[in-house]
Amino acid sequence: MQPNHQQCDEQCRARIRKHIRKLRRGAPVRVYAEAILSGEELDTHQCTTVLQVMLNPSGEMWRERTVAAWCLGERVCSPPEWKEATAHALRRVVDGREFVDRRGRIIRALKCNLAVAAVLSGAFILFLVSLIPSIGLPPPLFYLVGGWIIGTALLWMLVLVPGLLVSEDFELSRLAESRASAARSLGRLADPLASAVLARAATDARREVRQAAAVALPHALAAIGHEHLGALPPETTTNLCALLGRNNSALEVLVLDALECAGTGAAAEPVRRLASRSKSGSIRDAAARVLPILDERLRQETSATRLLRPAGSPNASSDVLLRPASSATAVPEEQLLRPTSEPTGMSD
């Protein structure tokens, strides 16, 4: 099922407005985001500030990172090198691995668990105090405070493991918001180098990341041309091939076109399977068109790394192989080895 791009943009803008309202008043990212919403442009200094905020790895900065990623997709500064730097930073955020704040997550989870345990323990102590008048003697304050501290410690240890598990999922959901925002911005930039990370994000475990990548990936694939052969990240072909055979004809056509332009020989076998198993005739035809190109690239890549045996040495051992002459190191003539004695039969 193809996502409705207009509906996705409206929902994204609504979420961004919600995040902006929750940011601290006067925060640079909030000021710049509100300026963008009002139709203003950002200068290079403001874009640099937004970029620095987006690359802050702290888990507590997830909302600022989400809004900053949206800003960079809405307003890109004019110098081409700035667009390249922005696209590179957005690819890092979509990848997300360097923004998993494990240490901060554990600290925040411990604080949250302690607060929950203290509240529950205090509520239990107050409940006991409410029952004391029927006994007639109120307990000393020392016992109340001691009971609250002991109860808090016991409850904290009891909810520690479940709290850590819940906090991990909560932190990953926050990170997914930032990754989805960055993926949508990459789609607006139509960055061909983002095809690899967007293709991997299209199969992500988080629904919001998958949806954002599905919207952005066609724009990145459409920007791939023959000039990108050998210039894309090495994992691009593998990640794109993982999208084949998923009953998404429109996306598969774009993937096949991209592989035709810049795919390596590693895509030959996945495309061959698609050509024989796809239920769509148009997909089979497109795969059959691309397959000979990929087979030829695979042949060239294999022959370029193949080692040959010397034809003039039939008695040579099997481990004697020839390497390309271009890889040989030039040796000065005076350093070459010469025989210590003349061969038999050559003397005067």
CA separation for the pair 11, 17 (Å, rounded): 10
For the domain spanning 5-100+176-218, the CATH number is 1.25.10.10
CA separation for the pair 155, 113 (Å, rounded): 9
| Contact in structure between 212 and 186 (CB atoms under 8 Å) | no
- Could you tell me the pTM of the whole model? 0.72
Give me the mean pLDDT over the 328-337 stretch.
54
CA separation for the pair 189, 220 (Å, rounded): 8
Residues with Cβ within 8 Å of residue 267, at least 6 apart in sequence: 237, 240, 241, 259, 294
Q: Which of residues 199 and 45 earns the better pLDDT score?
A: 199
pLDDT by residue (tens digit) across 227-284? 999 899 989 999 999 999 888 889 999 999 999 999 999 999 999 999 988 888 889 9
pLDDT by residue (tens digit) across 204-231? 999 999 999 999 999 999 999 999 998 9
